[in-house]
A and B are shown apart, each in its own frame.
Chain A
Amino acid sequence: MTSVQKRMVAESSQEFLILEMIHYCLRQSNNSRTEAQEKLEEIGFHVGERLVERLTRDRPRLLEDLDVVKFICKEFWSEAFNKKQADKLQTNHKGIFVLHDYQFRWLTHVSPSNSISSSSPSSSSSSSSSSSSTSMAAAIPNEEYLIFTSYPCGLLRGVLSSLGIKATVRAEIPALPKCSFTIHIQNRSS
């Protein structure tokens, strides 16, 4: 493609699309969150693989695991998650990398009021009065929000796979809109 300037769309268009994709997966799996999350992860995987092919077309091959992860933290993050890099990278140097984003763009508009709760049981038993400074969001169990991170987890796994790394990716949401992704590298193909 010869387009000089990258084509842009409204960020909200993407938010609407991804939110509806989540709703769709929940409908398809009769509101089974686990099943919906697996599906979203799988969709993300394929998109991640394709997207990274375009991003890495003109750059030399990334040889070390750390280089790949750094590429994800910088280039991929700002491409996929809007104009910023991951805030912090931790590693045990034995195949585990934890990427922290203190303001994960895809969670910034998630709030208890618009969280997907079509089937959520009365989980609000945890009293919201426990913490005064944090928002209501903190009172909701993290698992509620993991449905929003399945797609990005899949994207990351797809990116890694297409760069030759087989890994699992898991997200944690300590408090909205903070998010960390743990990459667990299993092996490296060729």
Chain B
Amino acid sequence: AIWAKMDKISAELFAMTYGAIVVQLLKDFEDVETVNVELEKMGYNIGMRLVDEFLAKSAIVSCHNFRETAEVIGKIAFKMFLGTTAEITNWSTDSRQFSLLVGDNPLIDFVELPPAYRDLVFCNLLCGVIRGALEMVQLKVECEFVRDVLRGDEVSEIRVRLLEILQEQYQEEE
């Protein structure tokens, strides 16, 4: 329902812009590992800004537990921003780790990785976005692609691990 209310654009320019950013990073850093780190960092910055819009438009007040948070990310946030959903699966027994299966990803519509870049985590930006957005709601997590269709896996899987729940810092007001 939220998706219907979002202003939408054709995904082509979006995907091509993202591709061009990755190409620019490869030019600027040459080293693929550094590019992976930088993409995650850029995503983190985006996540911190994006969470406001997400909370405002989705009207989600709070999640009771991490399992609920995961569903919100996969079903609502992915839909809202990328027009697709991610399946939540592979929960760890302590409910602190889960995987997002990203089946349909507009970022990679025009992408084929040449063998020279087989270590590039093309969509690492997404990991950063998740980390940045969750940090703004007091959840410190780490995210990584453990499977990637661009590197030959049959599905892309982002593993999310909860590290700690940050204490809200209330500021004294006079």
Chain A contact residues, CB within 8 Å of chain B: 6-14, 16-21, 23-24, 28, 39, 43, 46-47, 50-51, 54, 79-80, 82
CB contact under 8 A between A10 and B6, given known A16-B49, A17-B46, A43-B24:
yes
A89→B94 CA distance, assembly (Å): 62
A28→B6 CA distance, assembly (Å): 32
Contact across chains for B13 and A39 when beta carbons are under 8 A apart: no
Contact across chains for B42 and A8 when beta carbons are under 8 A apart: no
**What's the interface size class on B, roughly?**
20 to 34
Nearest Cβ distance between residue A101 and chain B, in whole angstroms? 16
Q: 10 A-B Cβ contacts within 8 A?
A: A6-B11, A6-B12, A9-B11, A9-B82, A13-B81, A24-B38, A47-B13, A47-B16, A47-B17, A47-B20
Nearest Cβ distance between residue A81 and chain B, in whole angstroms? 9
Contact across chains for A12 and B83 when beta carbons are under 8 A apart: no
Contacts across chains A and B counted by CB atoms under 8 Å: 91
Contact across chains for A28 and B106 when beta carbons are under 8 A apart: no
Nearest Cβ distance between residue B84 and chain A, in whole angstroms? 9
A12→B110 CA distance, assembly (Å): 21
Q: CB-CB contacts of B82-119 with A at 8 A, as 1s and 0s?
A: 11000000000000000000000010011000000000
- Residues on A with beta carbons closer than 8 Å to the beta carbon of B53: 12
Residue of A nearest to B29 (CB): A28
Contact across chains for A13 and B14 when beta carbons are under 8 A apart: yes
Point out the residue from A6, A47, A50 that lies within 8 Å of B10, measured CB to CB.
A6
Question: Could you say which of A23, A47, A82 has the most chain B C-beta atoms within 10 Å of its C-beta?
Answer: A47
Q: Is B136 an interface residue (CB 8 A)?
A: no
A14→B16 CA distance, assembly (Å): 11
Nearest Cβ distance between residue B14 and chain A, in whole angstroms? 5
A55→B81 CA distance, assembly (Å): 24
A10→B3 CA distance, assembly (Å): 8
Q: Is B68 an interface residue (CB 8 A)?
A: no
B147-162, CB < 8 A from A: none
Contact across chains for A51 and B7 when beta carbons are under 8 A apart: no
CB contact under 8 A between A17 and B14, given known A10-B80, A24-B21:
yes
A28→B21 CA distance, assembly (Å): 13
Q: Is B32 an interface residue (CB 8 A)?
A: no
